[in-house]
A = this chain, B = another copy of it.
Amino acid sequence: MDDRLERSVGVELSLVTVDLVIFTIREDALVVLLVERGAEPYMGRSALPGGRVRTNETLAEGARRELWEETAIDGTRLHLEQLGAYGDPGRDPRGRVVTIAYLALGPDLPAPVGGTDAAHAYWAPVAALLGEPGKLAFDHARILEDALERIRGTLEDTTVATVFCPDVFTLSDLRGVYEAVWGRALDPSNFRRKITKAEGFVEPTGEQRPQATGRPAALYRKGSAKRLSPPFLRSAS
């Protein structure tokens, strides 16, 4: 894409892509899916999965398609939400590329097999990534930061935390989601009170799950409520 193209048609056109910030919880840590780039620019560097949007699909459809093509993850079970558009002129050395970033959340997913496109796909702990500036290609570090702040805030006033859990889960599992995303420990007792009193957040199944150690925990499944009110604020302490 060079300037001659634009002049030839008399209209300024842009390449539009989608980039995916796919979060899940693995071993009590928030991780994000990265791919190792197999082509210039930034060959060999890590990047968020993504690709071009086709003209006959919606932005969200493009996100789900790229999710499948690059990581072989079936996105129908994932929570997908638009994060925003990133279009600074210098963000891609090849020229003007506007990308629409999507946030995808899901339960502990099968190890990415590296779909058709990307050579390698792998889960990277988010906490460690933030301490490595320059590790990610393009402006993906910025997108990742925005995504982290978005999900941290979203946990406060919605029930999306359950999408990180399997179909049935314990309240400790759910608490682990909050602790991994917010990066701090929560009081188990107060957490239980907040969640169980919030109507429609979780529903008891009546079953129990034996633990490796300690008293067995009751199992729950996600409820029908989408919003959490009053919100569950991550306080300063």
Contact residues of A with B, CB < 8 Å? 1, 5-6, 9, 11-16, 52-59, 82, 84-89, 95-96, 98, 100, 229-231, 233
- Of the candidates B1, B11, B58, B233, which one forms a contact with A87 in the assembled complex, judged by CB atoms under 8 Å apart? B58
Q: Which residues of B contact A1 (CB under 8 A)?
A: 9, 11, 13
A16-B58 Cα distance, complex, nearest whole Å: 14
Contacts of A54 in B (CB 8 A): 12
Pick the contact of A85: B11, B12, B100, B229 (CB < 8 A). Answer: B100
Chain copies in the assembled complex:
2
Chain B neighbourhood of A15, CB < 8 A:
11, 13-14
Asked if A98 and B96 make an inter-chain contact with CB atoms under 8 angstroms apart, the answer reads no
Within the complex, what minimum Cβ distance (angstroms) separates A186 from chain B? 17
Given the contacts A5-B9, A98-B98, A233-B230, A53 and B84 also touching, CB distance less than 8 Å: no
Shortest C-beta distance, A8 to chain B (Å), equals 9
Q: Note all chain B residues with C-beta closer than 8 A to A100.
A: 85, 87, 98
Cross-chain contact B6 with A55 (CB below 8 angstroms)? yes
18 contacts across the A-B interface (CB closer than 8 A) = A1-B11, A5-B9, A11-B15, A12-B55, A13-B13, A13-B14, A14-B16, A16-B98, A53-B87, A53-B98, A55-B96, A58-B88, A58-B89, A59-B86, A82-B85, A87-B100, A229-B233, A230-B233
User: Which residue in B5, B52, B57, B96 is a CB contact (below 8 Å) of A89?
Assistant: B57
A16 to nearest B CB, angstroms? 5
Give the chain B neighbours of A6 by CB distance below 8 A.
55
From A5, A9, A16, A230, residue with most partner B Cβ within 10 Å: A16
Closest to A102 in B: B85
Pairwise interchain contact A53-B14, C-beta atoms closer than 8 A: yes
- A86 cross-chain contacts in B, Cβ below 8 A: 59
Give 8 closest A-B pairs by Cβ, nearest first: A13-B13, A85-B85, A59-B87, A55-B96, A14-B16, A85-B100, A58-B88, A12-B55
Which chain B residues border A59 with CB–CB below 8 Å? Answer: 85-88, 98
List B contacts of A9 (CB < 8 A): 1, 5
